[in-house]
Amino acid sequence: MTPKMEEALNKQLNAELYSAYMYLSMTAWFESRNLTGFASWMRAQVVEEVEHAMKFYSFINERGGRVKLTAIDGPPTDWDSPLEVFEAAFKHEQYVTSLINELMEMALEERDHASQIFLQWFVTEQVEEEATFGSILERLRMIGDQTGPLFMMDRELGQRTAPALAQG
């Protein structure tokens, strides 16, 4: 793995940790408004993002690189509505997709076949992430200011539970 690729993969590892941090902030916002289903859904997303970061961590080490963690910026902490939270989350997922696409382009330019294969999982994952966040966002737009449907959606989203973090 080239030093350029190692640096870019480390940058993505830290971006994935920021995603977890941001979703944890969103979890706290939902909890402060007693939207426990939304909070549970976001908490599961936190775990997923940490798992993504750990995939980068392991891959860098497996390729003989060195993991370099950097400071993580503080995420936003306040939104006006669940709709605004999911608008921000969807926009963030689109940004992460652009980062993954840039990494894939770099892997192609570097002729780094192992990184290309590794990154393919993330390309597919980002399609799923954008679709999931986009679907929730569209439903929130349809609900508008109606509290009844919002509470029904809260109950539904609460069915997603956070898995335990994988070991090793």
Would you list the domain boundaries of the chain? 3-157
Contact 27, 43 (CB under 8 A): yes
What's the rounded Cα separation, in Å, for the pair 93 and 140? 17
What's the rounded Cα separation, in Å, for the pair 105 and 86? 28
Domain 3-157 is of which CATH architecture?
Up-down Bundle (1.20)
Can you give the pLDDT at residue 168?
A: 44
Dihedral angle at the C-alpha atoms of 1, 65, 102, 107, nearest 10 degrees? 20
State both tokens at 156.
Answer: 């539904």
State both tokens at 85.
Answer: 């939270």
Dihedral angle at the C-alpha atoms of 138, 140, 141, 143, nearest 10 degrees? 130
Can you give the pLDDT at residue 104?
A: 98
Query: In the block, which residue shows the tokens 């995603």?
Result: 19
**Selection from 107, 14, 100 nearest residue 57 by Cα:** 14
pLDDT along the chain (168 residues), means of 10: 97 98 98 96 96 98 97 96 98 98 97 97 96 97 94 93 59
What's the rounded Cα separation, in Å, for the pair 8 and 49? 18
